[in-house]
């Protein structure tokens, strides 16, 4: 059985969401989002930098949330939630899947650091403002893409697990403008899915 090493309010939520969507049995090692826990010798044996998520599958131990999503879809669902390589949707699936970590998560990480992680005397309002503006800009193409679409490439896919989770978290940080009507409706749609609700309940 798969084993997921998880901490609340992190990218590991994507993996819980995916496993619940696919109804794949798994064991969960729920860890505190605390350096003392994540940087422990025990966890560094799983991830050399002491990060999460980490997935164990028999003799395979793999980290990086995008790699884990792809691994699960290929090894355990024969490409389920993923369009065929020769389909019209496949290039856009790849685009939005990787847009997550390329464009959305870097400014979001900075926002979290300067609003939650750092003590107040070390937070930089200039850096924070720059990150908030960059995140807002990175969300505009997503909002535009979702016009007349229920999900990112039409049907629900692994791209929604990746980027949808990032958009959900961006909204929690108050970074999704009310003017982004398509994106707001999209976040409401994915938030109503039972599998994501279960992942949220674990936060």
Tokens at residue 128, please? 């924070």
Boundary of a domain, candidates 25, 54, 80: 80
The CATH number assigned to the domain holding 134 equals 1.20.1050.10
Instruction: Measure the CA–CA gap between 90 and 185, rounded to whole angstroms.
Output: 24
- Note the pLDDT tens digit of each residue in 11-65: 999 999 999 999 999 999 999 988 888 899 999 999 999 999 999 999 999 999 9
Domain that holds residue 66: 2-80
Residue with tokens 């039409």: 154
pTM recorded for the entire structure: 0.94
Residues 27, 114: one domain?
A: no
The answer to whether residues 86 and 95 touch, using CB atoms and an 8 Å cutoff, is no
Task: Tell me whether strands 26-30 and 2-6 are parallel, antiparallel or unpaired.
Answer: parallel
- Note the pLDDT tens digit of each residue in 139-189: 999 999 999 999 999 999 999 999 999 999 999 999 999 999 999 999 999
Structural domains of the chain, count: 2
Residues 74, 97: one domain?
A: no
């Amino acid at each position: 059985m798969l084993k997921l090493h998880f901490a609340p309010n992190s990218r590991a939520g994507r993996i819980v969401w995916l496993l619940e969507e696919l109804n794949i049995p798994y064991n969960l090692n729920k860890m505190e989002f605390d350096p003392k826990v994540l940087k422990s010798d025990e966890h560094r044996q799983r991830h050399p930098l002491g990060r999460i998520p980490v997935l164990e599958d028999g003799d395979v131990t793999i980290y990086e949330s995008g790699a884990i999503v792809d691994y699960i879809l290929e090894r355990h669902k024969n490409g389920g939630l993923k369009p065929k390589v020769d389909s019209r949707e496949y290039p856009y699936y790849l685009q939005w899947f990787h847009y997550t970590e390329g464009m959305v998560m870097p400014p979001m990480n900075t926002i979290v650091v300067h609003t939650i992680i750092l003590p107040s005397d070390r937070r930089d309002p200039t850096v924070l403002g720059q990150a908030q503006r960059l995140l807002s800009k990175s969300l505009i193409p997503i909002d535009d893409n979702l016009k007349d679409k229920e999900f990112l490439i039409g049907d629900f896919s692994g791209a929604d697990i990746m980027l949808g989770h990032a958009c959900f978290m961006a909204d929690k940080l108050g970074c999704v403008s009310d003017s982004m009507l398509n994106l707001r409706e999209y976040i409401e749609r994915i938030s109503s899915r039972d599998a994501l609700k279960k992942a949220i309940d674990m936060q």
